[in-house]
Amino acid sequence: MPINERPSDEFISLLRKSGDADVNVAQAAQREFAKALELPLRKGVLVGNILGNIFETINVEAGSTTEFPLDLISPGLEGEHVAYTNPGHGRIPERAVESDYVMIPTYNIASSVDYLLRYAKEARWDVVGRAMQVMEAGFVKKMNDDGWHTLLAAGVDRNILVYDGDATAGLFSKRLVSLMQTVMRRNSGGNSASVGRGRLTDMYVSPEALEDVRNWGLDQVDEVTRREIYTSSEDGAPITRIFGVNLHDLDELGEGQEYQSFFTSDLSGNVAQSGGGHAANDVELVVGLDQSSNDSFVMPVKEQLQVYEDPTLHRQQRAGYYGWSELGFGVLDNRRIILGSF
């Protein structure tokens, strides 16, 4: 049962009982209601999580460690790896200092919501459903931020920023894609015969960057690609592929936007670097990733999302639910990340 769809009659009946005047009946129904919400909330968190195609979810058994050996990534090259982990929600990701393994810390993320009890009694799923969406969005936001902060911190540590010195500042160019491909290849370790050699597969840019792509002329892209650009939907697959690289847009990227501000303010990054005849006037950040194999971006989950009723709210004529999950984020090899600017 997706959160945004009307549930079954049985579920609506349970919703009515959760607003019963008899506190014992109400709390028993709320307890059952909370457990019924767990699965759709878990699915919703994964669907709404923009990290879903980047980090590999690894379910960890209770009592097990979240230790990841580096020698399994590229045997004999573990000394060249730089790993980053997130110590907790809202904190600055840290560089891992272990030699041949990385221990990724896990922590709880939580969210809650409440509403007037009469909405449950009247089976107002239009109201209760929106409340559940707010709760779901709270989890998604925290996961997105922690995951992207980890990626950005790992990228900054490389001290590589690729730019197109021939392009007008603030305009996303096709040459930047090609340059980032080459720099990723030259700085990913190994050689032509190496297993899992790094390559640029995906680029994350601002909506403004994709607007630049839409304005490219026939001298920039062929007719087939232009048709893909014009027919793609905002909530669909990647808008297009340039030189085999998937382009994804993020609202949080762009001048003055959340993730770029984290890059410049919290990580002391700089998109306006100069050198080699390039003026220091670039304004936007680009994040390039190698997602060809699931060997670097991991999200260990020690406890799946659990949802509980809040019995303390009944005296206030409200019904409420809260939940938490224990997870962590880690980048085992930051050579899978390359940053650029335009």
**pLDDT tens per residue across span 42-61:** 877 766 666 768 998 889 98
Say what the pTM is: 0.86
Orientation of helix 125-157 relative to helix 9-17, angle to 10° = 100
AA letter at 240: T
Confidence of residue 117 (pLDDT cuts 50, 70, 90): very high
Mean pLDDT of the chain: 84
In this predicted model, which residue has the larger pLDDT, 219 or 65?
A: 65
Confidence of residue 121 (pLDDT cuts 50, 70, 90): very high
Kindly report, residue by residue over 319-337, the tens digit of the pLDDT. Answer: 999 999 999 999 998 999 9
User: Could you list the residue range(s) of the whole structural domain that residue 190 is in?
Assistant: 1-342
Q: Residue 32's pLDDT is what? A: 93
Q: Residue 341's pLDDT is what? A: 95
Identify each DSSP E strand in 250-331 by its residue range. 285-289, 297-309, 318-327, 330-331
Q: How many domains does the chain have?
A: 1
Quick one: average pLDDT of 276-298? 83
Q: Residue 180's pLDDT is what? A: 96
Separation between Cα atoms, residue 26 and residue 238, nearest integer Å: 46
Q: Where are the alpha helices (DSSP H) in 217-332?
A: 223-231, 258-261
DSSP 128-172: HHHHHHHHHHHHHHHHHHHHHHHHHHHHHHTT-EEE-TTSPTT--
Query: Strand pairing partners for 161?
Result: 339
pLDDT at 76 over 50: no
pLDDT at 33 over 70: yes
pLDDT at 274 over 50: yes
Separation between Cα atoms, residue 218 and residue 225, nearest integer Å: 10
CA dihedral angle for residue 256, residue 259, residue 265, residue 267, rounded to 10 degrees: -150
Kindly report, residue by residue over 152-183, the tens digit of the pLDDT. Answer: 999 999 999 999 988 888 999 999 999 999 99
Vertex 22: Cα angle to 18 and 23 (nearest 5)? 70
Q: Residue 321's pLDDT is what? A: 94
Of the candidate ranges 145-149, 213-217, 270-274, 324-328, the one whose mean pLDDT is the lowest: 270-274
Kindly report, residue by residue over 99-114, the tens digit of the pLDDT. Answer: 677 889 999 999 999 9
pLDDT at 197 over 90: no
